[in-house]
Amino acid sequence: MQSRPDGLYLAFDYGLRYIGVASGHTQSGTSSPLCVIRNHNGTPDWDALDECVRQWQPAGMVVGVPLRMDGSEQPLSGQARGFAKRLRKRYALSVFTADERLTTQQAGTIIRENRQRGQRRKTSKADLDKIAAALILRNWFTAHDDD
């Protein structure tokens, strides 16, 4: 198992149309939604990803891997793992994968709760994806806080 470098991380909620992006730091263990990057037929907008990496200078990256509730792989799992492999090769950074089960549902709950508190701005699938990426990263930090 590769060791986790300290510092800022980018996390990705990989989807067929959009890839949610979040950032967070190992020291605080917190994360924040950043943006959404388009993904067209399995080809991410590499220019947008390059800009994101240039701007944030991450120590590492985390890619959420969608699993079934029983922990088995689903068709999108392999694509997310392939995306992680491409990130590792392209940026020569530590790239980790994380179980992303239920993060999209949790992101939906956060959006609903924010609306109930009076934050009624219109939300989109993109909002859901970047919040899910933040949850993936926060959960990963929690699971690895002794690394």
In whole numbers, what is the pLDDT of the chain averaged over residues? 85
Q: What pLDDT was estimated at residue 121?
A: 62
Q: What pLDDT was estimated at residue 136?
A: 93
pTM as predicted? 0.82
Nearest alpha carbon to residue 82 among 127, 140, 39: 39
Nearest alpha carbon to residue 131 among 117, 145, 112, 144: 112
% residues pLDDT > 70 (the chain): 79
Q: Check: CB of residue 97 under 8 Å from CB of residue 140.
A: no
Would you list the domain boundaries of the chain?
Answer: 8-143
Q: What pLDDT was estimated at residue 129?
A: 85
In angstroms, what is the C-alpha Rg of the chain?
Answer: 15
Mean pLDDT check: name the lowest of 3-17, 37-51, 54-68, 97-111. Answer: 97-111
Q: Is the pLDDT of residue 146 over 70?
A: no
Q: How far is CA 98 from CA 84, 87, 118, 139, in A?
A: 10, 15, 33, 8
Average pLDDT over residues 124-130: 73
37 vs 126, more confident: 37
Q: What pLDDT was estimated at residue 5?
A: 77
Average pLDDT over residues 51-62: 96
User: The domain 8-143: what is its CATH number?
Assistant: 3.30.420.140
- Which distant-in-sequence residues (6+ apart) come within 8 Å of 147 by Cβ? 3, 4
115 vs 72, more confident: 72
pLDDT band at residue 23 using 50, 70 and 90 as cut-offs:
very high
% residues pLDDT > 90 (the chain): 51
